[in-house]
Amino acid sequence: MSARTTSVVILGGGPGGYEAALVAAQLGAEVTLVEKDGVGGAAVLTDCVPSKALVATADIMSELDTAAAAGIRLQDHEGDAVTESLADIAVVNRRILDLASAQSADIAARLREVGVRVIDGTAMLAGPHDIVATYPDGSEDVIPADVVLVATGATPRVMDTAVPDGERILTWQQIYALPELPERLVVVGSGVTGAELAQAYLGLGSQVVLVSSRDRVLPGEDADAAQVIEDVFRRRGMEVLGRSRMAAVSRTADGVVVRLVDGREVTGSHALLAVGSIPQTSGLGLEEAGVRLSRSGHVEVDRVSRTSAMGVYAAGDCTGVLPLASVAAMQGRLAMSHALGDTVTPINLRAVAANIFTDPEIATVGVSQKDLDEGRVEGEAVMLPLSRNARAKMQGITDGFVKLFAQPGSGAVLGGVVVAPRASELIFPVAQAVHLRLNVDQIASTSTVYPSLIGSIAEAARRLHVAG
Ligand SMILES: Cc1cc2nc3c(=O)[nH]c(=O)nc-3n(C[C@H](O)[C@H](O)[C@H](O)COP(=O)(O)OP(=O)(O)OC[C@H]3O[C@@H](n4cnc5c(N)ncnc54)[C@H](O)[C@@H]3O)c2cc1C
Ligand SMILES: NC(=O)c1ccc[n+]([C@@H]2O[C@H](COP(=O)([O-])OP(=O)(O)OC[C@H]3O[C@@H](n4cnc5c(N)ncnc54)[C@H](O)[C@@H]3O)[C@@H](O)[C@H]2O)c1
């Protein structure tokens, strides 16, 4: 198949779709991308980018709060101490929406530059090689495709007993339209979305109650890291209700009531539902075209993003491989490289770095403590609290740690966890070590700046040295 004449049609313009479009265009294909809501997808318009922008604002406010501990006194013109900062949520939201649409426009411009045809419409398959695009005015086009990429993402899970109304009962995609800061926000679900947004609103000045169905928040994460975050949440005044499953949410005269399955009731001014997502794969003609779906409705793919139908690939949240923007992008790029005959290395989830944008952040890569504890991986762990690091002291960092996992004998770095402000930036050397199969001595002997938080990663590596 000649890449120059290959026609590629992509359903969905999130990171899975637009990154694939860029690669396919670079490899010489004729590329059409059909997107119904806006280029950049949910990642840019409603999920990843807006939530991180909200967190960034809350972080600025929390830095103001900690200024006093560093000896900084904020005062007004009369010399009276200023002890409170207020978030003007209408301004905050406007900035976030502007920033998201600017990011979307930048991506659309880049796609145009490389010759990708972007269709504003809804797409579905009429067989493995024909895509029907429906335009906003209801008219349709059939686009023939040699290669199809399904990258339609996921959408917030909605329960019949807790239906969002966009005013008081909200999904995370609706919060940026709020005209006022919620006075008392009940966040339901303590996964990554719930934890990040609960802390962001707490930082912005809302009272926050976090309804967590599990023993602790962030049930899927490193237990030591989740404990640090839960302690910080409580210390800063968040009410965390553990082992509390929401049964229903309804409106009251001036707010909401969240009913728990054990009969308790939690009242608030607003409820934010963060109870997971479902893949957007129904009604797309996928199964009719021979594309196998899992019981959860995700598209089944292999490590180069092939589905069960020849010539049809899938990437991102609709596959359920690992719901991260970075992974969606990687899957989309791999799909195009494979379809268009470029060199491909199958996806390696072991080396995927991820970050939870709480304060402090939790960054992880590679194997987990659970893998070691449950005997799936043989490894040793060293955990160093950041409170003993000189730079951390200077910056007033009291919570957080660095944890490194290594293979006994060889000292190969298997993974790590960093809990710190900007952990997302600090995890890179560990990710690089996992990716390049470096050993602890190679990390330990790499020069680090003194004083620096990253020095703790080198120190953890030194502690894992295997005497030769
Ligand atoms: C609150 C929140 C915060 C997050 N933060 C992060 C983060 O910090 N870092 C990170 O890596 N990940 C983050 N994620 C995950 C990340 O957003 C997703 O993994 C990512 O969006 C997946 O990209 P995608 O391309 O698969 O889908 P999406 O970004 O969902 O894009 C899919 C697009 O397809 C379009 N579409 C669907 N059906 C059709 C159709 N029939 N025709 C045309 N178009 C269609 C949709 O309109 C959508 O625009 C976050 C998720 C949430 C919920
Ligand atoms: N920083 C990031 O990279 C980032 C941020 C947000 C989301 N994400 C991605 O999205 C994925 C999904 O995260 P998520 O948090 O949206 O969903 P999730 O499915 O991981 O978490 C939802 C949580 O809600 C709980 N829950 C479900 N029903 C409930 C009920 N009735 N009452 C109380 N709790 C209930 C579940 O037990 C679960 O802990 C993550 O795994 C991550 O990959 C990434």
Identify the CA nearest to 240 among candidates 214, 220, 261, 264. 214
**Residue 5 confidence (pLDDT) above 90:** no
Q: How far is the CA of 42 from the centre of ligand 1 (A)?
A: 4
Question: What are the tens digits of pLDDT across the range 270-329?
Answer: 999 999 999 999 999 999 999 999 999 999 999 999 999 999 999 999 999 999 999 999
Ligand 2 centroid distance, CA of 173 (Å):
14
SS3 per residue for the chain: CCHHHCEEEEECCCHHHHHHHHHHHHCCCEEEEEECCCCCHHHHHCCHHHHHHHHHHHHHHHHHHHHHHHCCCCECCCCCECCCCCCCHHHHHHHHHHHHHHHHHHHHHHHHHCCCEEEECEEEECCCCEEEEECCCCCEEEEECCEEEECCCEEECCECCECCCCCCEEECCCHHHCCCCCCEEEEECCCHHHHHHHHHHHHHCCEEEEECCCCCCCCCCCHHHHHHHHHHHHHCCCEEECCCCEEEEEECCCCEEEEECCCCEEEECEEEECCCEEECCCCCCCHHHCCCECCCCCECCCCCCECCCCCEEECHHHCCCCCCHHHHHHHHHHHHHHHCCCCCCCCCHHHCCEEECCCCEEEEEECCHHHHHCCCCCCEEEEEEHHHCHHHHHCCCCCCEEEEEECCCCCEEEEEEEEECCHHHHCHHHHHHHHCCCEHHHHHCCCCCCCCCCHHHHHHHHHCCCCC
Q: Is residue 305 lining ligand 2, measured as CB closer than 6 Å?
A: no
Kindly give the distance from the C-alpha atom of residue 189 to the centroid of ligand 2, in angstroms, as a whole number: 6
41 belongs to an annotated ligand binding site: no
Task: Give the domain ranges of the chain.
Answer: 7-44+94-155+278-347, 169-275, 351-463
Q: Is 183 a known ligand-binding residue?
A: no
Confidence of residue 378 (pLDDT cuts 50, 70, 90): very high
Which residue(s) pair with 257 in the sheet?
A: 250, 267
CB 276 within 8 A of CB 157: yes
Number of the ligand 2 atom closest to the C-alpha atom of 324: 43
pLDDT (0 to 100) of residue 370: 97
Residue range 230-270, pLDDT digits in tens: 999 999 999 999 999 999 999 999 999 999 999 999 999 99
Residue 137: is it exposed, middle or buried by C-beta count within 10 angstroms (0-12/13-18/19+)?
A: exposed
Q: What is the ipTM of this complex?
A: 0.99
pTM: 0.97
Q: What is the predicted pLDDT for the residue at 23? A: 98
Percentage of the residues of the chain whose pLDDT score is greater than 70 = 99
| Closest atom of ligand 1 to CA, residue 34 | 43
Q: Is 15 in the pocket of ligand 1 (CB under 6 A)?
A: yes
Residue 20 and residue 335 in contact, taking contact as beta carbons nearer than 8 Å: yes
Answer CATH for 351-463 from 3.40.50.150, 3.40.50.2000, 3.30.390.30, 3.30.465.10: 3.30.390.30
CB atoms within 10 A of CB 108: 19
Segment 55-81 shows an average pLDDT of: 89
Q: Is 189 annotated as a binding residue?
A: yes
| Cβ-contact 12, 151 below 8 angstroms | yes
pLDDT tens by residue, 169-183 = 999 999 999 999 999
Q: What value does the mean pLDDT of the chain take?
A: 96
State pLDDT tens for residues 192-227: 999 999 999 999 999 999 999 999 999 999 999 999
Tell whether 398 is in a known binding site. no
51 lines ligand 1 (CB under 6 A): yes
CA of 313 to the centre of ligand 1 (A): 17
User: Taking CA 131 as the corner, what is the angle to CA 130 and CA 133, rounded to the nearest 5 degrees?
Assistant: 150
| d(CA 295, ligand 2 centre) in Å | 19
Q: Is the CB of 379 under 6 A from ligand 2?
A: no
Q: Which two tokens stand for residue 131?
A: 């895509």
Radius of gyration over every alpha carbon of the chain, rounded to an integer in angstroms: 24
The sign of the dihedral angle between the CA atoms of 64, 65, 69, 72 is positive
- Could you tell me what percent of the chain has a pLDDT over 90? 93
Please give the CATH number for the structural domain made up of 169-275. Answer: 3.50.50.60
Question: Is pLDDT of 2 > 50?
Answer: no
CATH architecture group of domain 7-44+94-155+278-347: 3-Layer(bba) Sandwich (3.50)
**Residue 37 CB less than 6 A away from ligand 1:** yes
Please tell me the predicted confidence (pLDDT) of residue 3: 44
Cβ of residue 104 lying under 6 Å from some atom of ligand 1: no
Q: What's the 185 CA to ligand 1 centre distance in angstroms? A: 25
Atom 38 in ligand 2: which residue has the minimum CA distance? 191
Q: Judge if 7-44+94-155+278-347 and 351-463 fold alike in CATH terms.
A: no
